[in-house]
Amino acid sequence: MLDKVIALPFSLFLIFLFAFFAVTGMAMFTQWSMVQNEAQYIAASMGKWGGYTQEAEDSVKDMADRLDLSRSSVNVEVSDVGPAPWGMPVTAEVTVPFDFKVGKYDVGSFHISGLGNSVSTCIDAYAVSYIYP
């Protein structure tokens, strides 16, 4: 009888613990997927135009808005601002903070990074202005 009294609360505790970590892991994976997609988009844009353009910056601002972050908290690192010659590999790394909270209690902040790779197909005939991320 005593073993059933102890087993029921313990098994409920394990079920709730599993559900909590599943939801947190799913939220982190979803945010990582968004960051990885953004990094690959920036790298593809850099490959098309030969560097970091206003189009890529607008995309980063949109992602920051969707994640409810300020643009200053999103860190973007690119291999070359521009112009990158045709055939040169270009990379973009996007890092955002992931705040781990339990209700109103802040457990900690982790950084989620995504890395995008592409190859520049830019021809010098394009009239493109480049900016710094």
pLDDT tens readout for residues 52-72: 999 999 999 999 999 999 999
Sequence ranges of the domains in the chain = 2-119
Cα-flanking dihedrals φ and ψ of residue 92, to 5°? -140, 130
- DSSP one-letter code for 89: E
> Which one-letter DSSP state was computed for residue 68?
T
Q: What pLDDT sits at residue 81?
A: 78
The pTM for the full model equals 0.82
For residues 67 and 61, what is the distance between their CA atoms, to the nearest angstrom? Answer: 10
Give pLDDT tens digits for 64-121. Answer: 999 999 999 999 999 987 788 888 999 999 999 988 877 788 878 889 999 999 999 8
| Sign of the torsion angle spanned by Cα atoms 20, 105, 108, 10 | negative
Give the number of other Cβ atoms within 10 Å of residue 71's Cβ: 12
Question: What's the pLDDT score for residue 32?
Answer: 94
Q: What is the pLDDT of residue 85?
A: 86
